[in-house]
Amino acid sequence: MSTISLEQEINPWEAQAARFDFAARKLNLEDGLWKLLRRPSREIIVHFPVILDDGSTEVFTGYRVQHSQARGPGKGGIRYAPDVTLDEVRALASWMTWKCAVVNIPFGGAKGGVVCDPKKMSRGELERLTRRYTCEIIDFIGPEKDVPAPDMGTNEQTMAWIMDTYSMHMRQTVTSVVTGKPVNMGGSRGRKEATGRGVRVVCDEALKLLGIPRDGCRVVVQGFGNVGSNAALLMQEAGYRIIGVAEFDGGLYNADGIDTHALREYQQRNGTVLGFPGAEAADPDELLLSECEILIPAALENVITSRNADRIRARIVAEGANGPTTTVADEILADKRIFVIPDILANAGGVTASYFEWVQDRQGYFWKEAVVNEQLEAILAEGFDDVVRYAQAHNVNNRIAAYMLAIDRVAFTIRQRGLYA
């Protein structure tokens, strides 16, 4: 593993496949199921036209990959970005299968993407692109088939357009075709903060396990967006001390703790965290290497690699982002006995709340926010407990334990269902 190039090290599909293979071998997974689960069951590629504001026509490429629907409908976000690739969407779809199985919710895994630059497109162009992409994949999505959600470059407005397009074709309003919708049209209370809340829950559990007191526990967060800022805010409320915040354009450090509420207001007003008066400026890459109890990468993939893993000084790494640690870095962190809470567990709060949204849409009955939060906390704490017990029983690290647990659950269901024809 240590002889692979950096390019291979940061390829998300290679990273997913390496961990899957390792966990499947540990589980003694039978050959047929291994072959079945190693690859997605369906990959849809569409090339579709959109009329731009200047009257010209552009053709965009979109993907929807369904990795497994063994345990329920596919579930996974749709990403709009200029560098979306099929390999990336495949990896993300597989991660969704494992993530849903780790927290034991009745969904399979899927993911979508459109190669485009949403920052350079007008609202009208984005709406036309979204509606046409929805039409292209409409036979393959639906409340019982595959339920998309927002991801990078998409948001609740995108989900509203997908829901409307799908509903027009079905001749009735179908709110449960997507999650992450606005609350007034079938969205769930508590969804926005859910991933950050889940991060807080798994950190609480890790501290209990390792016997580290929560009050004053030092935390560094990379990425002060949805996941990072909500995790930081909720953790500060619970007694943690947020000593560092790293953003793409710079970082902040304050050994006494950053007031994250004030920081969020500052960021909303100024469009950046830089210049915030309650902390010193710091190099964002160096912040990842600060001495602290918990490091939360909550921005993007491949930030902990063979280049910096040996210099990480956190006791716990809680992966808010998807795929922040490469496979090579995993081994380095394990050698340093750093307790890693892997992404497929640590950031599963989002999909758990999406599950609640889907349930509420189908019930036509909407829960109070306190109910959403309470159920979410119970599911995440149970998922943490399951992973840790698996790690101890099989003498593997938490990431491999999470994969093993997930693969075992999916494989069990497939054996029980049997293979059709």
Report the candidate in 263, 287, 290 with the shortest Cα–Cα distance to residue 277: 263
Element holding 146 (H helix, E strand) = strand 146-150
Joined tokens for residue 262: 């004030």
Residue 175 in contact with ligand NAD, rule: CB under 6 A: no
**Shortest distance, CB of residue 161 to ligand NAD, whole angstroms?**
19
* Burial class for 335, CB neighbours closer than 10 Å (0-12, 13-18, 19+): exposed
**Scanning the structure block, which residue is given the tokens 């994949």?**
137
Residue 321 in contact with ligand NAD, rule: CB under 6 A: yes
Report the candidate in 330, 326, 400 with the shortest Cα–Cα distance to residue 7: 326
Contact 196, 231 (CB under 8 A): yes
- Restricting to residues 200-239, name those near ligand NAD by CB under 6 A: 222-228
Of the ranges 199-207, 246-254, 306-314, 391-399, which one interacts with ligand NAD (CB under 6 A)?
Answer: 246-254
Going residue by residue from 255 to 294, which x/- string records binding to ligand NAD, judged by CB under 6 A? -----------------------------x----------
Residue 248 in contact with ligand NAD, rule: CB under 6 A: yes
Question: Residues 75, 99, 111, 181: which is the catalytic one?
Answer: 111
Report the candidate in 21, 89, 120 with the shortest Cα–Cα distance to residue 322: 89
Residue 246 in contact with ligand NAD, rule: CB under 6 A: yes
Sheet holding 109-115, edge to edge: 42-51, 57-68, 109-115, 74-81, 146-150
Residue 302 in contact with ligand NAD, rule: CB under 6 A: no
Residue 360 in contact with ligand NAD, rule: CB under 6 A: no
Q: Which is nearer to ligand NAD, 13 or 34 (CB)?
A: 13
Per CB under 6 A, the list member of 350, 396, 400, 407 interacting with ligand NAD is 350
Residue 412 in contact with ligand NAD, rule: CB under 6 A: no
**Strand 280-282 vs strand 250-253: parallel, antiparallel, or unpaired?**
antiparallel
Per CB under 6 A, the list member of 187, 320, 342, 383 interacting with ligand NAD is 320
Contacts for 41 with CB less than 8 Å, ≥ 6 apart: 66, 67, 68, 69
**Shortest distance, CB of residue 195 to ligand NAD, whole angstroms?**
4
Residue 345 in contact with ligand NAD, rule: CB under 6 A: no
Residue 298 in contact with ligand NAD, rule: CB under 6 A: yes
The Cα–Cα gap between 243 and 241 comes to 6
Per CB under 6 A, the list member of 88, 247, 293, 357 interacting with ligand NAD is 247
- C-alpha dihedral sign at 368, 371, 377, 383: negative
Per CB under 6 A, the list member of 322, 326, 360, 397 interacting with ligand NAD is 322
Per CB under 6 A, the list member of 347, 352, 360, 398 interacting with ligand NAD is 347
Joined tokens for residue 381: 């704490």
Tell me the number of residues near ligand NAD by CB under 6 A.
20
Report the candidate in 40, 1, 45 with the shortest Cα–Cα distance to residue 19: 1
Residue 111 designated active-site = yes
Of the ranges 200-208, 240-248, 356-364, 381-389, which one interacts with ligand NAD (CB under 6 A)?
Answer: 240-248
Cα 5 to Cα 77, 240, 307: the distances in Å are: 29, 38, 12
Residue 383 in contact with ligand NAD, rule: CB under 6 A: no
- C-beta nearest to ligand NAD: residue: 225
- Restricting to residues 110-139, name those near ligand NAD by CB under 6 A: none
Joined tokens for residue 128: 């036309």
- Residues in contact with ligand NAD by CB under 6 A are 195, 222-228, 246-248, 284, 298-300, 320-322, 347, 350
Q: What amino acid positions are annotated as catalytic residues?
A: 111
